Homo-oligomer: A and B are copies of this chain.
């Protein structure tokens, strides 16, 4: 397994920028990533039936498996903006391409924020034209990029790993409208490893399926979700399996960071459903539990109300399991606190309550029916989530 490199590593050939162009307030809201040469690239996008204009354009531009730049704005999603929105996304690619001297098809656009409001194109046009002079290959550039893509996130999310001579650096954002099948989340991976676009696409698909598609904050699937990897080849070839291991580790790390930073969240929940009769049953039950508002509020309140887990397992009508076999384990695998259907002592419940007071929780649900296992990540549901989403148009 590749080791986590601290601090965040820049990647040879790439430069980044992050700046404020006044889309909503004075926080960073415009970001560009650029590579000195064309990269093999692959992407995965939202499954929402109403994808944002940048997603439509991004799919087109990635069809050929090559990218050289990414342009992102936060605070406005450019979704449900009609033909004008599509034209706006294309215009950003065209202007940035002209400024950088590259084809517009080598630019991937991303927008995240409020739905249904036209992009402020005067500001974006100027920002695209002036983008080259802001680019910085150093850590300041990368940090500014990581900050400028945020919306309701409370902190930037990034990771760097080494794969032989190559570096893999990933940057993500996402805090609400998060549910498996992607979310209001953006994630970009930059590497100087040499990999072809077809292999990248397969690796990215597998990695996303086990990471970003396994997190849930609020069951809402965004219209803007985008995960992209760009490989410029400057470090030469690396073993494909090593690169895939690094990509997997990086996507899981960033997925957990997104769940941990869920809107209003105070706890990260890692939930493992095992001994399931099939992968489908394991995943459906895991999602039912991690999405249950009653489970999420009980965890927020550190209430060892395990009956809510029983309810959440039982409401997956299509995958019935016997109640007697159900076991719920809290804590590490070596010495967990166990709830079995045969009954438990008040001491166990008190210890579980104390355990639930922590900020990073591991809960394992054993179905006693087979060997399939799935891991998902989520967060608790708090007054903070309600407050943030009731009072605030992103």
Chain B residues near A324: list those with CB within 8 A.
Answer: 82
Residue of B nearest to A219 (CB): B293
Which residues, 283 to 306 on A, are CB-close (under 8 Å) to B? 291-294, 297-298, 300-301, 303, 305-306
The answer for the CA separation of A324 and B311 in the assembled complex, in Å, is 40
The answer for the CA separation of A338 and B220 in the assembled complex, in Å, is 24
Chain B residues near A79: list those with CB within 8 A.
Answer: 307, 310-311
Task: Report the minimal beta-carbon distance from A391 to chain B, rounded to whole angstroms.
Answer: 5
Tell me if A's interface is mostly helix, strand, loop or mixed: loop
The answer for the CA separation of A291 and B220 in the assembled complex, in Å, is 9
In the assembled complex, A387 has its CB within 8 A of some CB on chain B: yes
* Count of identical protomers in the assembly: 2
Interface string of A356-394 (1 = CB under 8 A from B): 000000000000000000000000011101110111110
Interface residues of A (CB under 8 A from B): 47-51, 77, 79-80, 82, 114-116, 176-177, 179, 181, 218-223, 291-294, 297-298, 300-301, 303, 305-308, 310-317, 320-321, 323-324, 341-343, 381-383, 385-387, 389-393
| 27 residue pairs bridging A and B, Cβ less than 8 Å apart | A47-B315, A47-B317, A48-B315, A49-B315, A49-B316, A50-B311, A77-B307, A79-B311, A80-B310, A114-B305, A116-B306, A116-B310, A179-B315, A219-B291, A219-B292, A220-B294, A220-B308, A220-B311, A220-B312, A221-B311, A223-B310, A223-B311, A297-B385, A301-B392, A381-B386, A385-B386, A386-B386
